[in-house]
Amino acid sequence: MSFLLWRPGSATDGICKILEVEGVEKSFELDDGAPRAAGWPADAHCRMDPDWPKDIALADSLLGASLVVISGRVKKALDEAQLTNVELLPIEIINHKGRVASEDYFILNPTEICDCIDKDASNVEWNDLDPDSICGCDALILDAAAVPETLAVFRLKHWKNQIVIRRELAEKLRAQGLTGLSFLEPEDYMGIG
């Protein structure tokens, strides 16, 4: 498979875990790929999770928020890849003492939605509350032929909170020694977490 799911950070001792983004109205739109760059608040931030008071180091991708939160180093690599339809929304990371630990972090917000889930092969389970959304599957199977060559990072139609990255780009990011990046084979995903 030529694609991976881009997951929020990795659980590493010493690396901070973060709480959900604050200072952003309608933050639920960040799970749907709605464009948010226009009017993005200057005070958007994520706090370090107080349940992990000794974890204070910063990685290039942080775990905790349901969003993919990346450092300026990852942003630079993505800028060099010249992605289209991807917003990198600036946020601050606030440490356990309430001080700014870094202003060089971004929420990855792909706004392109691609209809490429093989629903039959995945054996999808539809959401009872939102019949146009998937909430689980036996194994997420993507139809590579349905993805335009121009798309390197995008969201899935019917499962918009899932971010997909081309394997080639993910490997380029890994090769740069960026820390905390977490990617998952789509067929290993069933909708948990």
pLDDT in tens for each of the 193 residues of the chain?
699 999 999 889 999 999 999 999 999 899 888 999 999 999 999 999 999 999 999 999 999 888 999 999 999 999 999 998 999 999 999 999 999 999 999 999 999 999 999 999 999 999 999 889 999 999 999 999 999 999 999 999 999 999 999 999 999 999 999 999 999 999 999 886 5
Name beta bridge partners: 89.
107
* Residue 30 covered by a domain: yes
Q: What are phi and psi of 183, to 5 degrees?
A: -125, 150
**Domain-embedded: residue 142:** yes
Q: What is the pTM of this model?
A: 0.94
Give the C-alpha separation, 130 to 150, whole Å. Answer: 30
Asked if residue 154 is part of any domain, the answer here is yes
CA–CA separation, 110 and 163 (whole Å): 7
The number of folded domains in the chain is: 1
Tell me the CA distances in angstroms from 99 to 13, 21, 61, 102, 124, one per residue in order: 21, 16, 20, 9, 44
Q: Which domain holds residue 112?
A: 3-188
- Which tokens sit at 88? 């990198």
In a domain? residue 24: yes
Please indicate, yes or no, if residue 193 is contained in any of the structural domains: no
